[in-house]
Amino acid sequence: MGKRINTEEDGVKTVIKELKNITTQTTEISNALNEVIKYYENNMDRMKYGTFIKKGYIIGAIESAHRNLIQQRLKLSGQRWSIDGAQRIANLRAYRKSNRWENIVQEIKKAA
């Protein structure tokens, strides 16, 4: 198994600690805050942004691509997708957005 990343250097534990120090005025706000804290605690190992930046990874590009590529098409009003159908649409959108649409057209022509 690979080396475990020290999540402390990524600041997630500090964020959680600060969130736990917040005083809330209502039960509703307290419940919402507890949900955020729970989310951070459950996903701490995936929030290694400091580590990722040190390794030269681009942060934010994946989330942006996901919104642009996937959500924009699959989350239209009234849309219902099977996993297989959603994957096929995602593949087609990836080809279109990466200017490789002609590859798909050629494959379709070969199959016809």
Burial (Cβ within 10 Å: 0-12, 13-18, ≥19) of residue 107: exposed
Enter the tokens of residue 112.
């016809």
Cβ-Cβ contacts under 8 Å for 74 (sequence gap 6 or more)? 81, 86, 89, 90
Burial (Cβ within 10 Å: 0-12, 13-18, ≥19) of residue 15: middle
Residue-wise pLDDT for 24-80, tens only, equals: 999 999 999 999 999 999 988 888 878 887 887 777 666 677 777 677 778 888 888
Q: Tell me, what's the pLDDT at 27?
A: 92
Burial (Cβ within 10 Å: 0-12, 13-18, ≥19) of residue 10: buried
Q: Tell me, what's the pLDDT at 4?
A: 52
Average pLDDT rounded to a whole number, residues 74-97: 85
**Long-range Cβ pairs for the range 33-37 (8 Å, 24+):** none
Residue ranges per domain, the chain? 7-54, 64-111
| Three-class SS state of 58 | coil
pLDDT beyond 50 at 2: no
